[in-house]
Chain A
Amino acid sequence: MKGHGRKILVIGSGPIVIGQACEFDYSGTQACRALRSEGATVILVNSNPATIMTDPSVADRTYIEPLTVEALTDIIAKERPDSVLPTVGGQTGLNLGLALHKAGVLARYGCKLIGASVDAIELAEDRQRFAHAMAEIGLMTPRSIIVTTMEQVGEALERVGLPAIIRPSFTLGGTGGGMAYTVDEFRAAIAKGLDESPTNQILVEQSIAGWKEYELEVMRDRADNVVIICSIENLDPMGVHTGDSITVAPAQTLTDREYQIMRNAALLIIRKVGVETGGSNIQFAVNPVDGQLAIIEMNPRVSRSSALASKATGFPIAKIAAKLALGYTLDQISNDITQTTPACFEPSIDYVVVKIPRFDFAKFPGAKDSLGPQMKSVGEVMAIGRTFREAMRKGLASLEAKLPPVDKKWLDTDLSTPTPQRIYAVLAAVRNGRSLQEIFDLSRIDPWFLQQFTLMARMEAEVGARVLAHTNQNVSAHDWLRYKREGMTDAELGTLLQRTEKDVREDRHSKNVVASFLRVDTCAGEFESHTPYLYSSYESACEAKPSARKKVMILGSGPNRIGQGIEFDYSCCHAVYALKEAGYETILVNCNPETVSTDYDTADRLYFEPVTLEHVLEVARLEQPIGAIVQLGGQTPLKLAHGLEQAGVKILGTSPNAIDLAEDRERFGALMDTLGVRQPEAGMARSEAEALQVADRIGYPVLVRPSYVLGGQSMRIVYTPDALSNWLEVATEATPDRPVLIDRYLEDAFEYDVDALCDGEDTVIAGILEHVEEAGVHSGDSTALLPPFKVKPHILQEMKDVTRRLGKAIGVRGLMNVQFAEKDGDLYVLEVNPRASRTVPFLAKAMGLPLAQQATLLMLGKTLAEIGLTEDPQPKHWFAKAPVFPFKKFPGVDVLLGPEMRSTGEVMGVGATPGEAFLKALQGAGINLPTKGCVFISVNDRDKAGVIDVARALHEMGFGLIGTRGTALALFDAGLPAQLVFKVNQGRPNVADLIRDGGIQMVINTPLGDVSFFDDKAIRVAASAHGVPCMTTLSAAEAAVEAMQRARTGGMERYAVQDWLTK
């Protein structure tokens, strides 16, 4: 128990952003648990409430506070830890650890950094020093030069040449990085990189695009034992960020001699950099022509790749790293999976792992979808198969991606330019018989992978040929097995054989061709495995050994994407915890390697499988659970509900029929009418003419969207018939099969999110969030406050009443989320989701209630009374939620918020007043409210009276006021000095110019309706580009002013979650 008497502060990674996602919840949770299991007291700081790690039971003291030096200093002063572990919180954790050291905080409070030393962090991160260090141990790095000013551009060009890669220091996911092929691009990329790097330092590097790319996950202990956990080979060659590459474990095309050269280099590097304990990730490039080895970079911390390596091998890197940080050595730690052998070994695997990134470019129209050194993917899937082909097919099935049309005409540039679509272009080229040499010349994808694709195509052709041969209806058991052993899904086989997926499945099942499940055991079968961590294949023996216990299957949420991320994994994990406690065996099915749910420690039995009907049914067939939980994992499992039910799998909780009742507009509309609940006028259109007619009846502006979508995909607010026609042309099509939905847009309304628990009869309101933005901004993108702070009591009461009535009428058993809008004193229901929403973890944290666990018990048939929930809980503090956006990764996209969700993550702020909570949430999201300067105010007529108090408060704090004509006049009338400025379309210099020139530090701009929609947009785009906070509602402005007043009073209170728990 080396942790005994130790007090360790763990830094989390904050909100989910591109390049830093829930893999750090997985690693951080593992680390906290490992430290506590060794007797240490753990203090955790993370601003992200949607994490398992911020559950009150994971650490001893949990602070959901902004990840800033200021907040951490307060917490260190309060809790007095003896050590800080910065290596499990991604680049954010590492940077903060370093910042705390540099600010002298660690020294002042006698804290030491564990896991990685300051020297090691600096050496690994400072690219010039790293290059020197590599040269000292005889390893090659690409030619490079450090640039700190634009004056060095010429020198850099001469030294490095073109093409070049520009990499800013100390940024995560390569933010601000880019490739340059021309001198102009070279200049532009350097300017941008200098701007992005917090240290104003960038590395300009010789491009070795096209080389083979590899990664090794390395661990070292204080006794200098070093092991390699996993090797990874990128299918996409150098030039694409590894997070955006399809990657394969283990390495496929290296001989042992070459692999050992790489391994030796890794050992030299981890020793040279001086990572004394813990895990590191090292990236290599290999010249495919002569095998020359180059070192790309080293991360002295757990990473996305280490999470992948952990899931790929069964070796829990973060957990072991935490124990090593306490002073254990690898040989003192046992391998959980074999139980008889130590963790000091190198895993061997007898399967192939494929990781495929998931992109969401559709959310960012205008952004180029080409991939480069800066990461752009929002999630990933991992698939395990006995062969690369099987794993690849499972991976593609796991992605839930929209496939390009079969007859799409691909161009050579589709092969040569890395994009999310390239894999499909390559597969199509192989299918069409294009020579592998040509495909290789264009894509530089290693011929081995191309050969594998050829085998895949060949098998497809063989299956497809059965149609012409009229043997598609009588496939023998032998052939089914051959096809399934190649990894072909029932859906793929169905398409090729011109049969339904269901028919394929039933046919092969009748011939006893069923999945066998094999174990991920770290040792390729050499030792017995004690953890049921399984994947499917079509081999001859099944190792699952299902128990005879009462069991429940929980379906995970698949790859992270915008609108469906960590929040759902959080809820799935909680279902597991609740079921375990209630005495059920838990079976989890998921394919997202970044998650806590796919830790072999979470559920009793983990099936690392695509969350598709086929794969889930194979698990159900074997395990025979009493039922499946589909309402916690977002749309992915929800859309399987019907299929599962039809196949005889019971859906626990809210029935598929009830889910359908809420999703089906017509059925739902009828229900609303019966209940006498108001909805914005709405209609459905199956053609453009019909759409224009419906919009005309409802009246513009209208909110339009395709039916059955997630996260508000392609949703728009349109103000004119022309705009509607345009949207129909660009974004979607109205067809009889796929109608579009048209709602009245409630302009300038207040919006609320209500989450509730229902047992079929009674309902408990778990919490009500008031959006700070105007209605029309997707709830996932809204800044919101709990409890509502501007709501009228009767509206509050009405929301509760309506929610209760809805719960009962729909027959919800479990969680329900209702979105309301209030306009001019009238309450409207915007949406009802009879499932866990994104806000569940936020509310659970704020209320101190395990909502997803309680919901799980309700799904099992318990009543609210039986689980002791009879009253609506009340929060003990004020809580604010603020989203974070990836706009920096997609230059040129429209930053204006709308009904389509685009945030990747969120933070929580907690305070004694709404202002304090709001301030912390903004700080957590990286938005800094100004302390001095000028505030631009432009509000609609309705808000003119209300804004006076806000303006006065700003004036009293010493801010200058700037307004457009109407608002400025209103301010003059109230006796407030205000400077007049042009609107964007009135002349120059206008407000946007002023923002660009740094003359405005904050914007208060409430929507003025149709006419000024574009003016508002220009202002907000300028504000966003220059990091100027922008308040778009009066309530937001009020909250901001309160926050600014709070900020002036100095020190913040820091609240530990454990102190506000209900009970």
Chain B
Amino acid sequence: MDGILVLEDGHFFRGKRFGGEFAGSGTHGAGEVVFNTSLTGYQEILTDPSYEGQIVTLTYPHIGNYGVNPEDSESSGLRAAGLICRDYHPVPSNWRSERSLGDYLALANVPALCGVDTRRLVLLIRDVGALRGVIRAFPDGDDLPIAGRVRLDELRPGDIEDPRVALLAREAQVHPSMAGLDLASRVTCKQAWTLGPANARKHVVAMDFGIKLNIVHQLVALGCRVTVVPATTTALEIMALQPDGVLLSNGPGDPEPVTYAVDTIRYLLGKVPIFGICLGHQLLGIACGGKTYKLGFGHRGGNHPVRDLDTGRVEITAQNHGFAVAASSLNGREVVVTHTNLNDDTVEGLRHKRFPAFSVQFHPEASPGPHDSHHLFKRFAELMERPLSPGTKS
């Protein structure tokens, strides 16, 4: 059962099919192809709503080893548009495993390819940036090499002539690009939901742009009740819930088109403590006058070193984002940069100069990834304990 991944630039990668059905055409099995360098945590990654619309390539070659268990999903189901890996074996080994990854993917009808030369795919994405692609079925035993590039228009050196593959590349080209796409509205909850005891000391309203469950669990573990609300919930509706703090969740894609949330955040600033994570961080940045831009190939993995500029300490963080807040756009604004990425100096955290609001680009809830930054939830809890500074209206 062969399959193929074809990218918009004509690159193709062959593999064996597993998981969900392979569509002949259309948006199923199509998306932006990104890579994640985590060694563990495929279940969390594939269920993370931030991967909405993306085909995830896992750089670690063996995937599926420990199966899928009932506890480690980050949302109600699979979110990635597809999975690409080097090696998959259907029989898992782990005491918590409930079913194989292949079965789990099949249930949600998410197509996956194994046996792929993921190393070449990753180097390609690294060098040219994230590309759109489609995964499709392909005839078994075909003579086409395991990877290469087909001729599209002009003949480029090394191009292979193959009209079948070229057609699939055209299909990838017409798939909508991530930039300018409001994906948050696609993954946000339709209705508000709550977790945590009714008599909790603090009530957090979480704006759901694609929230990972572990964010909610971390807050609940600190004694909060969390109400998760749809992304489009207005500031007045949020304030009506009488929150002690508002959490701006992570989410997929480009923050620019999520203009409705920016307005909401601007209104909430100063009225209630705010903690933004990932997309929520970018939205806070925009709300404070900053600009965002698309990174070449993004940060996706569990090994990114981030410096806390206040303490000088470095934390190893989990990351998953394709866009970032431009440091230069923050000059003269009311936010300061609190964290930077040691690898590329990108902005990793912000704090409002006057209001109780802060945010980080990385994922303090981890899952998957190191727990070095769990303490940020405590920081948020402490912020909720303090009175709002004088001069700000309640």
Contacts and interface: CB of A to CB of B under 8 A. Distances in A.
Interface stretch (A337-345, A710-718, A948-956): A337-345
B342 A331 contact: yes
Interface string A441-453: 0000011100110
Given A342-B305, A386-B86, A253 B371 contact: no
Contacts of A250: 39, 60
A523 B305 CA distance: 12
A294 to B, nearest CB: 15
B61 interface: yes
Given A260-B371, A346-B370, A523-B37, A225 B126 contact: no
A289 B95 CA distance: 6
A528 B62 CA distance: 23
Given A289-B95, A448-B65, A455-B89, A256 B369 contact: yes
Interface in A773-832: none
A674 interface: no
A342 B126 contact: no
A197 interface: no
Contacts of B313: 223-225
B118 A350 contact: yes
A451 B60 contact: no
Contacts of A288: 95
Given A253-B66, A255-B40, A341-B342, A331 B314 contact: yes
A263 interface: yes
Interface string B285-319: 00000000000000001111101000011101000
Contacts of A291: 95-96
Given A254-B66, A290-B95, A524-B59, A330 B314 contact: yes
Nearest to B300: A526
Nearest to B316: A346
B120 A540 contact: yes
A523 B119 CA distance: 11
Interface in B107-128: 115, 117-120, 122-123, 126
Contacts of B307: 331
B93 A344 contact: no
Contacts of B72: 255-257
Looking at A352, A448, A527, the one whose CB has the most chain B CB atoms below 10 A away is A448
B147 A253 contact: no
A707 interface: no
A253 B65 contact: yes
A387 B95 CA distance: 23
A352 B61 contact: yes
Interface in B136-158: 141, 143, 145-148
B313 to A, nearest CB: 7
Contacts of A255: 40-41, 43, 66, 69, 72, 94, 96
A386 B94 CA distance: 22
Interface in B158-175: none
Contacts of A524: 37, 59-60, 122, 301
Given A257-B71, A446-B93, A540 B62 contact: no
B65 A481 contact: no
A455 to B, nearest CB: 7
Contacts of A254: 40, 66, 94
Contact of A448 (B41, B93, B117, B367): B93
A541 B120 contact: yes
A360 interface: no
Best-buried of B143, B305, B342, B368 by chain A (most CB within 10 Å): B305
A470 interface: no
Contacts of B92: 448
Contact of A526 (B37, B368, B369): B37
Interface string A256-288: 111110011000000000000000000000001
Nearest to B13: A540
Contact of B117 (A345, A352, A446, A540): A540
A525 B366 contact: no
A693 B223 CA distance: 91
B342 A350 contact: no
A523 to B, nearest CB: 7
B60 A349 contact: yes
Nearest to B368: A256
Interface string B48-89: 000000000001111001100101100000000000001101
Interface in A670-707: none
Contacts of A345: 303-305, 316, 342-343
A253 B87 CA distance: 14
A227 interface: yes
A344 B304 CA distance: 9
A7 B178 CA distance: 57
A186 interface: no
Contacts of A894: none
Contacts of A478: 141, 143
Interface string A223-255: 111010001000000000000000000111111
Contacts of B89: 448, 451-452, 455
B94 A539 contact: no
A351 interface: yes
A388 interface: yes
B44 interface: yes
A289 B96 CA distance: 9
A43 B122 CA distance: 45
A500 interface: no
Contact of A387 (B61, B312, B371): B61
B91 interface: yes
Contacts of B146: 481, 539-540
A271 to B, nearest CB: 13
Nearest to B297: A526
A398 B148 CA distance: 32
A259 B40 contact: yes
Contacts of B343: 340-342, 345, 527
Contacts of A264: 371
A833 interface: no
Contact of A260 (B119, B126, B305, B370): B370
A393 to B, nearest CB: 14
A291 B66 CA distance: 12
Contact of A256 (B44, B117, B305): B44
B65 A539 contact: no
Nearest to A350: B59
B185 interface: no
B117 A525 contact: no
Given A255-B40, A348-B60, A331 B66 contact: no
Nearest to A331: B314
Interface in A480-495: 481, 485
B37 A348 contact: yes
A448 to B, nearest CB: 4
B316 A348 contact: no
A573 interface: no
B62 A223 contact: no
A518 interface: yes
A474 B66 CA distance: 39
B147 A260 contact: no
A703 to B, nearest CB: 52
Contacts of B148: 540
Nearest to A436: B91
B38 interface: yes
A526 B126 contact: yes
Which interface residue of A264, A289, A386 has the most chain B CB atoms within 10 A?
Answer: A386
A331 B342 CA distance: 8
Contacts of B316: 227, 345-346
18 contacts: A223-B313, A256-B72, A260-B370, A344-B305, A345-B304, A345-B316, A348-B37, A348-B39, A350-B60, A351-B61, A352-B62, A386-B119, A448-B89, A478-B143, A525-B59, A525-B123, A540-B146, A540-B148
Given A255-B69, A448-B66, A526-B126, 13 more contacts: A223-B312, A253-B65, A254-B94, A257-B71, A257-B72, A260-B371, A448-B65, A448-B92, A451-B91, A452-B89, A539-B117, A539-B147, A541-B119
